[in-house]
Every structure is written in C-alpha cells, then in structure tokens.
C-alpha cells in the first residue's frame, strides 16, 4: 500500500495532433509547463487558468485539473473535450489539438513614444522597441516595467508589416484602480524603460471561404481592426460583419477607420454598433450579443461562418453561448478574453 502511495508517477508523452511535435511531461507538471520547457510556442497568457488562451482539445488520454476547467471554459467547450493546458496534469499519454504560435518570441526594451485619445477612457498607445517584432494580425504583446506586479497584455491594433516592426500600437482602456492603466492615463511614462515580449496568442484569421462575424467591446476593437486591416490589404474576399458594443455613444471610436475599411473590403462589409445603456439616433440598443442572430442572418447563416470575439470576459462568455446555441461549431469560434487582476483573483 505504502509502496503504491509513494511510487513515482511515470513521465507522460503528449502528441500534438496533425504535426510531428511530441514532448514529455515531467512528474506533477502541467502540459503547458512542459511544452514551454521544451521550447514550444504553446499559446498561453495568465498560466493560472483564467484567460482561456491555452484552451486545447483533448483527443485522447486523461488529465487531472489543478483548478476546474469549468471556471473559465463554457459547458459547450467542456462537452467538446476542451481543457486548459496550464491547469492540466496528464494521467496518461495524451493527444492534443492546439494551434502553436509560429513566429519567434522576442524580448526587447521599449519606450512609450505616442498616445492619442480615442474615447473618454481608451487611448491608442505606441511603443518603440529596440528589436523588430514579427506578429500576426490579432496577436498581442506582454508589457512589463520596473516594479510591475506582472506583465500586462495588449493586442496589436495595426496590420503587421512584412519584415517585422519596431513601432507597436495598441488600444488601451483605463481600468479604475488598475496598476498600469491608472499610471498610463495619469503620468508621463516617456522615460520609463519597458520590456516587451511578443508575439503571443492564437487569435488570427483562419483560412476559409465563409463569412466572418467579428464581435468586440471596449478596447477589444484593437485586434479586430488589425485583423480586418491585414485581411483588406491581402484582398480577402469574404463577407464580414463587425458588431461593436459600448454603453453610450461616447464609447464608439475608429469610425473613420471602419468606414475606410468598408470601402476597401473586397466582399460585403457591414458595421453595427450597439449601445447598452444610452440610446442614440440610428444605433441599435441592447447587449451586443443579442445582435448575433441578426448578424448571422445578414451573413447568410452558413456552417462556413467563422466568429472572432474580443473584449471583456463576460461579453465573450455570452457571445460563445449565443453562437453555439445558434449552431456555430466551437472550432469556428475564436476569442481573446481581456482578463485582468480582478479576473485572476476570482
Ligand atoms: C490576451 C489579452 C489581451 C489583452 N489586450 C488588451 C488590449 O488590447 N487593450 C486593453 O485595454 N486591455 C487588454 N488586455 C487587458 C490588459 O492586459 C490589462 O489586464 C488591463 O489593461 C488592466 O491592467 P492594469 O494593470 O491597469 O489593471 P490591474 O492591476 O490588472 O487591475 C485590474 C482591476 O482589478 C482590480 N484588482 C487588482 N488586484 C486585485 C485583486 N487581487 N483582487 C480583485 N481585484 C483586483 C483593480 O482595482 C482593477 O480594477 C488584454 C488581456 C489579455 C489577457
Ligand atoms: S494560460 Fe491557461 S488559462 Fe490562461
């Protein structure tokens, strides 16, 4: 009996489906820890089970969850076999489906060189880096500074440049009580030595011929604009509908950029702002997620539809549930939840 209790757990092997990638997971280590130790660009951010970035589908094998996946993943995702790699300790060999990042992650010094107000609480913020960063439209960077309580993630708002770039811009919302954003909006940070690590994430436009439904809230417009600008520049010929949710008219921004995108877009393009609290002339009223069915109908209600959601965790959870209820497969739903310190403590 004692022998069994203290017996060493065997090392487990993880195979990434559709690739020749295989790695070993150390005793009591998570899938994510071992993947990163093996030098793989496994998608991740918080590493504590709250952001959902390491969401992967378990095709075979068994895992133990350090914290229940259900705190972050929806019932639909759990039923479809999704796990959180940062919380999953293998109990057998595993086969996992996940999209690895491709570009080399760079860590570089950076200075904050420009800021422009977009709304009363969102700014376009630009860092100048020492080394060029290569990213895919939709991805994000991790930013730290001396004394930072931890990295802060910010999604790129511009289409990437071929050959990489040293100017990185993101739309950043002021979070009341936030360690970084309170300083950003209240102090001159031009002399602060930042460090940027990028690219991260797997929120990019998947190949396909079907229409694209994009849903954003707050600063969640940042990667959606990047993704749309990049697709427009590449001449992507797919119908697209952008739903954007705010509380009041003062929360709407990037009107000129979106109008310009609509003109350059090769397929049909529609922008639908939705306001939850204060009605305004000609603008839909309600929760942005309540517009999903009408948006899908405009896009032709086809199984080829792909959905891309970005912004507050609550909006994403409601959006994923609505999309699944409307018949969209989880494999066609891609999202980045903008979690912060308050999500991590819950
Ligand atoms: C993948 C990803 C991409 C993102 N992209 C963007 C983006 O493009 N634009 C953007 O604006 N944001 C983005 N975010 C969010 C961003 O990373 C930060 O979380 C956000 O800017 C807040 O940072 P902060 O330091 O100001 O606030 P934090 O210090 O994280 O605090 C946030 C809130 O939590 C409260 N809080 C702090 N500690 C605790 C605690 N222990 N318990 C309870 N509450 C607490 C604070 O008072 C505050 O209200 C992204 C997040 C992720 C995960
Ligand atoms: S990295 Fe696993 S949930 Fe955030």
Question: How many A from CA of 301 to the centre of ligand 1?
Answer: 35
With a pLDDT cut of 70, the percent of the chain lying above it is: 96
pLDDT band at 7 (very low <50, low <70, confident <90, very high): low
In the structure, what pLDDT confidence band is assigned to residue 104 with cuts at 50, 70 and 90?
confident
Which of the listed residues 84, 88, 345 should we mutate to test ligand 2's pocket, taking the one with most ligand atoms within 8 A of CB? 84
Q: Is the CB of 180 under 6 A from ligand 1?
A: yes
Evaluate whether residue 333 is within a structural domain.
yes
**Range 272-300 average pLDDT:** 97
How far apart (Å, rounded) are the C-alpha atoms in residues 123 and 286?
25
Instruction: From the CA of 84, give the closest atom in ligand 2.
Output: 2
Q: Which CATH number covers residue 325?
A: 3.40.50.80
The verdict on the CB of residue 179 being under 6 Å from ligand 1 is yes
Residues 232, 317 within the same domain: yes
**Average pLDDT value for residue range 106-120:** 97
Query: What is the structure's pLDDT at 53?
Result: 87
Q: Provide the pLDDT confidence category of residue 44 given band limits of 50, 70 and 90.
A: confident
Model confidence at 241: pLDDT above 60: yes
Q: How confident is the model at residue 52 (pLDDT cuts 50, 70, 90)?
A: confident
Alpha carbon distance 285, 291 (integer Å): 9
pLDDT of amino acid 135: 95
What share of the chain in percent tops pLDDT 90?
84
Residues 185 and 281 in one domain: no
Buried b / exposed e over 269-297, threshold 16 CB at 10 Å, is bebbbbbbeeeeeeebeebbbbbbeebbe
Taking 60 as the threshold, does the pLDDT of residue 346 lie above it? no
Q: With respect to residue 27, please indicate whether it lies within any of the assigned structural domains.
A: yes
Q: What mean pLDDT is reported for the chain?
A: 93
| Ligand 2 atom at minimum distance from 46 CA | 4
Number of structural domains the chain divides into? 3
Instruction: Single out the residue in 200, 224, 250 at which a domain terminates.
Output: 200
pLDDT for 256 beyond 70: yes
Cα 251 to middle of ligand 1, angstroms: 19
Q: pLDDT (tens digit, 9 = 90+) per residue, 70-101?
A: 988 988 899 999 999 999 999 999 999 998 87
Dump pLDDT digits (tens) for 167-210.
Answer: 999 999 999 999 999 999 999 999 999 999 999 888 999 999 99
What does the angle CA 216 – CA 135 – CA 172 come to, to the nearest 5 degrees?
40
Look at residue 6 in the predicted model and tell me its pLDDT.
52
Which secondary-structure segment (H or E) carries 36?
A: helix 31-37
* Domain encompassing residue 150: 106-200
Residue 194 lies in a domain: yes
* Ligand whose nearest atom lies closest to the CA of 46: 2
Q: Is the dihedral of CA 278, 282, 285, 287 positive or negative?
A: negative
> Does residue 205 sit within a domain?
no
- Predicted confidence (pLDDT) at residue 5 exceeds the cutoff of 60: no
């Amino acid at each position: 009996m004692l022998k069994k209790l203290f017996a060493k757990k065997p090392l487990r092997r993880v195979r990434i489906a559709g690739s020749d990638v295989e790695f070993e997971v150390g005793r009591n280590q998570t899938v994510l820890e071992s993947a990163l130790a093996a030098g793989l660009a496994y998608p991740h951010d918080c590493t504590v089970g709250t952001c959902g970035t390491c969401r992967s589908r378990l095709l075979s094998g068994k895992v133990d969850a350090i914290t229940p996946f259900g705190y972050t993943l929806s019932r639909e995702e759990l039923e479809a076999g999704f796990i959180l790699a940062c919380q999953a300790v293998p109990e057998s060999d595993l086969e996992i489906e996940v999209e690895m990042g491709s570009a080399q992650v760079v860590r570089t010094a950076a200075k904050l060189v420009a800021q422009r107000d977009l709304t009363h609480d969102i700014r376009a913020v630009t860092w100048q880096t020492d080394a060029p960063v290569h990213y895919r439209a939709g991805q994000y960077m991790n930013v730290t500074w001396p004394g930072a309580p931890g990295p802060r993630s910010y999604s790129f708002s511009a289409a990437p440049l071929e050959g990489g770039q040293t100017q990185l811009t993101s739309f950043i919302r002021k979070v009341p009580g936030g360690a970084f954003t309170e300083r950003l909006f209240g102090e001159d940070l031009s002399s602060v030595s930042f460090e940027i690590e990028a690219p991260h994430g797997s929120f990019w436009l998947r190949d396909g011929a079907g229409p694209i439904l994009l849903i954003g809230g707050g600063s969640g417009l940042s990667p959606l604009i990047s993704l749309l600008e990049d697709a427009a520049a590449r001449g992507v010929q797919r119908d697209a509908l952008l739903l954007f949710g705010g509380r009041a008219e003062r929360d709407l921004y990037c009107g000129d950029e979106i109008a310009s995108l609509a003109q350059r877009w090769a397929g049909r393009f529609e922008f639908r702002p939705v306001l939850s609290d204060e009605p305004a002339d000609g603008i839909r009223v309600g929760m942005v997620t309540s517009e999903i069915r009408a948006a899908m109908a405009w896009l032709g209600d086809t199984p080829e539809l792909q959905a891309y959601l970005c912004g507050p965790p609550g909006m994403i959870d409601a959006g994923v549930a609505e999309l699944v209820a409307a018949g969209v497969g989880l494999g066609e739903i891609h999202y980045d939840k903008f979690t912060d310190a308050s999500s991590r403590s819950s």
